[in-house]
Structure 1
Amino acid sequence: MSKRKVKDAHLPVGECITKLQEILRERICCQKLPVKPEGVEAQHKHLLELLRRTAVHGESNSVLIVGPRGAGKTMLLKCVLRELLEEKEVQKNLLQVHLNGLLQTDDRIALKEITRQLHLENVVGDRVFGSFAENLVFLLEALKKGDRSSSRPVLFVLDEFDLFAHHKNQTLLYNLFDVSQSAQAPISVVGVTCRLDVLELLEKRVKSRFSHRQIHLQSGATFPQYQQRVGAQLSLPDDFPDLKFAQDWNASVKALSEDKSVEEILRRHFNNSKDFRSLHVLLMLCLSRVSVAKPAIKPADLQEASRLCLGDATANMLHGLSILELCLIIAMKHLSTIYDGEPFNLQMVHNEFKKFLKRSHSMYNFEQPVIMKAFEHLQQLELIRPVDGAASKTQREYQLMRLMLDHSQITEALQKYPQCPIDVKQWATSVF
């Protein structure tokens, strides 16, 4: 009886909204690992056996997990590690080192991170090593147990594995694979990558030391599953404090999922990326618009969130430019039309800009150094870039550049540019 009363309790709308935000934000942002990953049972079993052989029997291995973004590579690895660490022997012995190609951009940084994660800073101290290999071997030697007979197994996880292949001489990869092949110490190297051609990036000496084991994952999400995910992520649980509010909210979510305009928006997102993480970003933007005054998500909210998600980042960057920088972009647009996409230099852009100033009898008057500075800023933003092989010895005014923007992006940005002068807008759309 008391439980029923708790369920039928009516809370103030403000409290309900706060509780709703708390539950859904946690669910969307902190995605929990499934008990068993679906559809990848064979891959799960294969990876678990490989890592167990290292963790329990001290056998070295190397493997690549390959698949498109959002296919579940990291989830698979986390599920395997969770299951593996349930074994006491593994929990006690296995050491883990997690590296990411986006963060560890060269081998020196990677080695520093390995030392930090293995808690060997004090052991290394101020020692000077002749080579990367010596340093790595010393670290692995330092992990040997008290009797110095056997080393603790180490799992190296290399996220964005393909980026490590761009490091100078691929020293890190060479040494890790070399140790795993020569059985100097029990280590497992697991690379996680989106690139199917990743083996082509490896040097011959590195490739020869890799085991050539690959675990492939497919992005198997279908559009109906994608739609179901929306309902699953936004629905409130049965034990929500206010039953009436939860029923009304779940009914509004059901109506939202069945709306035709919402289906179109979701299909556009699905075609753009099947990754559920991008869908979670979309839902978080919708959720942020829910308030006491508007206690439900409407199709218009999804439309606005979609516009923000799929917005052109480069075109949005143009909204933050100064009028001078915008004028230089328009001058480049005209030059690329006149010369059929041929590269241009600052001098040509300046001449085109001066023609506009003369025609429009504009009050704008910029000195050459100011224009040069604006031109350099556009290059820093990568809205323009030097032509490949353009001689660096050439005077800056005459260095050939290319515009990295589409004409439609410039037109769209001008329409949204705050308080854009009319003569500048007219110049952008003119054919002269």
Structure 2
Amino acid sequence: MSKRKGKDAHLPIGECIAQVQGLLRERLCCQKLPVRPEGVEAQHQHLLELLRRTAVHGESNSVLIVGPRGAGKTMLMKCVLRDLLEEKEVQKNLLQVQLSGLLQTDDRIALKEITRQLQLENVVGDRVFGSFAENLAFLLEALKRGDRSSSRPVLFVLDEFDLFAHHKNQTLLYNLLDVSQSAQAPVAVVGVTCRLDVLELLEKRVKSRFSHRQIHLLSGTTFSRYQERVRTQLCLPGGFPDPKFAQDWNASVEALSEDKSAQEVLQRHFNSSKDFRSLHVLLIRCLSRVSADKPFIRPADLQEASRLCFEDANANMLHGLSILELCLIIAMKHLSIIYDGEPFNLQMVHNEFKKFLKRSRSIYSFEQPVVMKAFEHLQELELIRPVDSAASKSQREYRLMSIMLDHSQITEALQKYPQCPTEVKQWATSPF
């Protein structure tokens, strides 16, 4: 492979690109925690002091970290834990349990995960407990020191805290907050949520056991700071093996940030989400388009990466459906217009489809079992879903379903559907 000309050049262009991609991918995917979180110093100090009182002095606490997505809630929590664990006494004593409302969808799963993270599977064994409270009390009792005088402090971090409020009777939240309020064991419960109205979701008995401490974070990112983030994430450091390439690369990044079309793309992403994580996804997509033939990120790369980021997954899924499945989707679209968004069943969809078949010359009739199989496939793809769980007890033909697609998604998908019959397109756009 030929080397580029220049006084400082000593690496082949392909090797330079490989090093750039490796360095920037690691930077974008493995974000390092800041030494001090900017703009949230007071919140950082407050939370650190609160958790220190639990970890060192055995004082139970509960607190909520509330703020929009991308405001830095997780980053704040990680920074506080990092600083807290620098103290030797905390390292020896503090136990951590991380739960997520997206993963631990009911109390049974959550309790199993608590047992696993506290490494108490062998202690629990085959014991049968009468209630969640008894099980949790046993786990906390098992954490007591050898002299059984005091328990090790436990930190419970509940990510997507609002989803735990949807568990039956809010048993997990009730018992954790009950322990944190009583003197049973030193426990800190930290909830992380985007819902500003999260307290309204809590039952009265749960709310009464919560300390009502809340730490609010606001997303103060401006567009100029967003653009600066693009430059800092894409620019190469001074110690890059090929200084000449690094200089050219950094100049191209500067030119990219000043390009009008690139600014329009970034403005669109900024308006959609101020979360830096979504920005990093965009930049990684841009980075994958860099090659020896095109060694720098161009505005066109940014535009293409943006198109992929905003691409509609459901609309793309429609491109792979059979003509029968597509016709059933169109029939559902018409039913939702006729009945103003009310749920439908297979029989209604099939009847609507038959109306179209009567005047169609290119689409032939299908047997009922074939139509039912196509309908079930749409449910498997989650393009339609049952209205409630009780629907599973009724006959398949009469289960009420809702469509998970917008009318614009269906119309857009039909434009790109390969060799879609003209009659089907016309039927989709006709009023009835």
| Fold-level similarity (TM above 0.5) | yes
User: Residues 43 and 330 of structure 1: is their aligned pair in 2 closer, same or farther, counting only changes over 3 Å?
Assistant: same
Match of 1:407 in 2: 407
The residue correspondences of 1:18-417 to structure 2 (distance < 5 A) are: 18-337=18-337, 344-362=344-362, 364-385=364-385, 395-399=395-399, 401-417=401-417
* Cα deviation, residue 403, structure 1: 3.9
* Cα deviation, residue 425, structure 1: 2.5
| Deviation by residue 1:3-27 (Cα, 9 ceiling, x = unmatched) | xxxx935200111111101100000
| Deviation by residue 1:87-143 (Cα, 9 ceiling, x = unmatched) | 111111111111111111111111111111111112112222222111111111111
2:362·2:421 contact (CA, 8 Å) conserved in 1? Answer: no
2:64·2:214 contact (CA, 8 Å) conserved in 1? Answer: yes
* Greater mean deviation of Cα atoms: 210-219 or 299-308: 299-308
Q: State the distance in 1 between where 2:25 and 2:250 align.
A: 16
| Deviation by residue 1:45-97 (Cα, 9 ceiling, x = unmatched) | 10011001011111111101010111000100111111111111111111111
| Deviation by residue 1:250-306 (Cα, 9 ceiling, x = unmatched) | 111111111111111111111111111111111111111111121111111111111
Q: State the distance in 2 between where 1:411 and 1:114 align.
A: 47
Letter in 1 for 2:351: N
* Cα deviation, residue 344, structure 1: 4.5
Q: State the distance in 2 between where 1:388 and 1:135 align.
A: 31
Letter in 2 for 1:30: C
| Deviation by residue 1:141-170 (Cα, 9 ceiling, x = unmatched) | 111112211111111111111111111111
Residue aligned with 1:151, SS = coil
Using the aligned pairs only, state the percent identity.
86
The TM-score with structure 1 as length reference comes to: 0.93
* Cα deviation, residue 173, structure 1: 1.0
Letter in 2 for 1:86: E
2:252·2:296 contact (CA, 8 Å) conserved in 1? Answer: yes
* Cα deviation, residue 353, structure 1: 2.5
Match of 2:4 in 1: none
User: Residues 162 and 247 of structure 1: is their aligned pair in 2 closer, same or farther, counting only changes over 3 Å?
Assistant: same
User: Residues 191 and 343 of structure 1: is their aligned pair in 2 closer, same or farther, counting only changes over 3 Å?
Assistant: closer
Q: State the distance in 2 between where 1:216 and 1:192 align.
A: 10
Letter in 2 for 1:246: A
1:390·1:400 contact (CA, 8 Å) conserved in 2? Answer: no
1:66·1:192 contact (CA, 8 Å) conserved in 2? Answer: yes
Letter in 2 for 1:191: G
Q: State the distance in 1 between where 2:224 and 2:56 align.
A: 42
Letter in 2 for 1:311: E
The TM-score with structure 2 as length reference comes to: 0.93
* Greater mean deviation of Cα atoms: 26-35 or 324-333: 324-333
Match of 2:3 in 1: none
Letter in 1 for 2:379: Q
Residue aligned with 2:57, SS = coil
User: Residues 164 and 392 of structure 1: is their aligned pair in 2 closer, same or farther, counting only changes over 3 Å?
Assistant: closer
Q: CA RMSD in A?
A: 2.1
* Cα deviation, residue 329, structure 1: 1.6
Match of 1:3 in 2: none
Residue aligned with 1:123, SS = helix
* Greater mean deviation of Cα atoms: 320-329 or 69-78: 320-329
Q: State the distance in 1 between where 2:202 and 2:52 align.
A: 27
Number of matched pairs: 426
User: Residues 240 and 406 of structure 1: is their aligned pair in 2 closer, same or farther, counting only changes over 3 Å?
Assistant: same
2:9·2:245 contact (CA, 8 Å) conserved in 1? Answer: no
Q: State the distance in 2 between where 1:283 and 1:135 align.
A: 47
Q: Which consecutive unaligned segments of at least 5 residues does structure 1 have? A: 1-6
1:10·1:244 contact (CA, 8 Å) conserved in 2? Answer: no
Q: State the distance in 1 between where 2:170 and 2:400 align.
A: 34
Letter in 1 for 2:21: Q
Q: State the distance in 2 between where 1:104 and 1:393 align.
A: 26
Residue aligned with 2:136, SS = helix
* Greater mean deviation of Cα atoms: 391-400 or 50-59: 391-400
